[in-house]
A and B are shown apart, each in its own frame.
Chain A
Amino acid sequence: VTPPGAGRLADVAGWDAEELRAGVAVLAGLVDDLPSWRGRVERIGRELQDGAWSGRAGRAAAGSVFALSAVTAGVTDGLSDSLASCRRAAADAGTAAAAARASLHAAAGDTEAAEHLGELALEQAQAVREALRAANAALFGLGVSDAFTPSDFGDLAAHVLPVAVPVPPTGPDAVAVWWAGLPALAQAAFLQQRPGRAGGLDGLPSAARDRANRLRLALALRGRAPSPTARAVADVIAAHEAAGRTVQLHLFDEAGERVALGLGDADTADAVALLVPGIGTTPEDDLDAVTADVARAVDAAGAAGAGAVAGVAWLGYRPPRAGGILLRRRAAQAGPVLDAALDGMAAAREAAGNRNARATVLAHSYGTVVLDEAADAPGRLAAEAVVLLGSPGMEPGASTLEAPEVYDAASPADPISWASWFGPSPWMPIYAAEELPVAPGTGHSGYLDPGPTLIAVGGVIAGNWE
């Protein structure tokens, strides 16, 4: 009969404690070297400061060197604490392995001794596991969790140095200017210590929002039971990154089930398209499909010669559930949010010097009503073109949308496009939108499937559709 824990005992008996000790000794070498390394860095800073270079630039140069030294000190402290636990793990591993081997050896003759030794081995093995956990926990203060480490020096420094967390101003334009003027350390401190605020702050560059939202996503996934929203976002990101696309998480509001996921770099793109989906859309059920629509639109724009293209699946509002009574209320709430998101993306591009990018809003179904409400928000809609797809009716007149170009695609086979629930359908001549081609038989969800409408949408995003 195989006693309980025999498999575990065999594993522990196979531990090579000498090899582990040798590995830990290598790590200890780094901790031994760092104080003197830091001392030499510090001396360089002092020599810069005390004579080699005076004036503002000289002080800034010396400051950079001193910051490097200060971060090195923080890293050294964290690694020293971690090393103590690593050494404990190595010592306990030796005891555990020896006891496990002795237990297995005694099992044939002295079962009582074998049991006693086995218990000792398993206890020591548990101590090894706890010591390794403690070694990892000692690095939390440096921004390390398991195999995840700070993304760059600014990120590391924000964990180590006492940098005051800056407070953003109000309004996307002011935020964009404020962010561009912040030192890198202050930016990193804001992203790390206020990821919830940063992840939804309109006017921040998309790359910065992505970093903040990925921090929140990582936290959400680390819980025992990650939400369906978090799982869906992680899956869609993984799929598109595996396909070689740049992915930016513009918004991750887990509790509110609101997500905006971008393909391509929206800060530097020549053309940006944002897709607003309609009723019943949730990140859990639909992020995959909506992002696939965006991917096809991005590719179509690229084929139309748009240059670098970015697209965003904007599930930044909670649409009404399918089957319920359709009211404007949700759209009225979502409109100003969409308006601010567009303003924020435009302000971030402007701050980055990307002033000629073209923005297009693709609105589908109830999303066209949200767009309608966004145009009613104060200030002009920050888009050069809008495309209405299968609209259930809108306030009269394309000019009310505030965009220089308004296009509409409506299929006779799409019952929603006949509905006129929220005003005249935009395919009616009185609305004065430019009509896009539609393949015969196109259903309500088929506008961005491969076909003439998708090709036309690509041309609109690129700015050369005629």
Chain B
Amino acid sequence: VEPGITVHLDEVGGLAAQLSALAAELDEDARTCRSAAGRVREALGGEEGWRAGALAIAWASLAETVAGRAGAVAASLVSATVAYRANEASLAERMTGTHPERPR
């Protein structure tokens, strides 16, 4: 049995919002890197240009992957707080007997 469970839903929600903002920030960085791919490709042309462009796209893709994960974790935190609140409401209904009768 878990020794103790505490959850501060507003705090978790606030942390989720921070993480979501960080995801958006990194995603913007990734977009900037992606835009640099065209510049470096054009700057060199030929095989060197292709390599430099591919490199910049790889950088952008890595940043997008990390940003995407940050967004997904933030969304999971939000979902958890929603689920907690729904469960709390359901428990409250059961405790006060206000939940609808089950069909017999």
Give A contacts to B, CB under 8 Å: 11, 14-17, 19-20, 22-24, 26-27, 29-30, 33, 37, 40-41, 44, 47-48, 51-58, 61, 64-65, 68, 71-72, 75, 78-79, 82, 86, 89, 93, 125, 128-129, 132-133, 135-136, 139, 142, 144, 146-147, 149-150, 152-153, 156
Contacts and interface: CB of A to CB of B under 8 A. Distances in A.
Nearest to B11: A52
Contact of A64 (B6, B12, B45, B76): B76
Contact of B18 (A40, A68, A152): A40
Contact of B62 (A40, A48, A75): A75
Given A68-B70, A146-B54, A20 B63 contact: no
A26 B45 contact: no
Given A61-B80, A82-B59, A147-B57, A53 B66 contact: no
B101 to A, nearest CB: 32
Contacts of A30: 29-30, 32-33, 59, 63
A156 B70 CA distance: 14
Given A55-B4, A61-B73, A136-B54, 14 more contacts: A15-B48, A20-B44, A23-B39, A23-B43, A29-B29, A30-B29, A55-B6, A61-B12, A93-B48, A125-B48, A129-B48, A136-B55, A153-B66, A153-B72
Given A19-B42, A40-B18, A52-B8, A149 B25 contact: no
Nearest to A133: B51
Interface string B30-49: 10110111011011111110
A132 B52 contact: yes
A44 B19 contact: yes
Interface residues of B, number: 51
B15 A47 contact: yes
A54 B43 contact: no
28 contacts: A11-B45, A11-B46, A16-B43, A23-B52, A26-B32, A26-B56, A30-B30, A33-B29, A44-B19, A47-B11, A52-B12, A54-B4, A58-B5, A61-B12, A79-B62, A89-B52, A125-B48, A128-B48, A132-B48, A132-B51, A133-B51, A136-B51, A136-B55, A136-B58, A144-B62, A150-B62, A153-B66, A156-B62
B81 to A, nearest CB: 9
A139 B4 contact: no
Contacts of B2: 55-56
B15 A86 contact: no
Given A19-B39, A144-B58, A53 B47 contact: no
Nearest to A149: B61
Contact of B65 (A11, A40, A152): A152
A341 B35 CA distance: 46
DSSP class of A's interface residues: helix, strand, loop or mixed? helix
A119 B91 CA distance: 81
A29 B32 contact: yes
B58 A54 contact: no
B70 A149 contact: no
A135 B53 CA distance: 12
Contacts of A27: 33, 36, 56, 59
Contacts of A29: 29, 32
A57 B76 CA distance: 11
Interface string B76-97: 1100100000000000000000
Nearest to B46: A11
Interface centre among A56, A64, A82, A147 (most CB of B within 10 A): A147
A292 to B, nearest CB: 34
B43 A19 contact: yes
Nearest to A79: B59
Contacts of A135: 55
Nearest to B32: A26
A72 B45 CA distance: 32
A153 B65 contact: yes
Nearest to B13: A52
Contacts of B4: 54-55
Contacts of A11: 45-46
Contacts of A79: 59, 62
A51 B14 CA distance: 13
B22 to A, nearest CB: 6
A146 B53 CA distance: 10
B19 A41 contact: yes
Contacts of A129: 47-48, 51
Nearest to A16: B43
Nearest to A32: B29
Contact of A15 (B43, B54, B68): B43
Contact of A23 (B25, B54, B56, B63): B56
Q: Top 8 nearest A-B pairs by Cβ distance?
A: A55-B5, A23-B40, A19-B43, A26-B36, A153-B69, A20-B43, A52-B11, A149-B61
Given A11-B45, A11-B46, A82-B59, A54 B15 contact: no
B69 A68 contact: yes
B45 to A, nearest CB: 7
Contacts of B19: 41, 44, 65
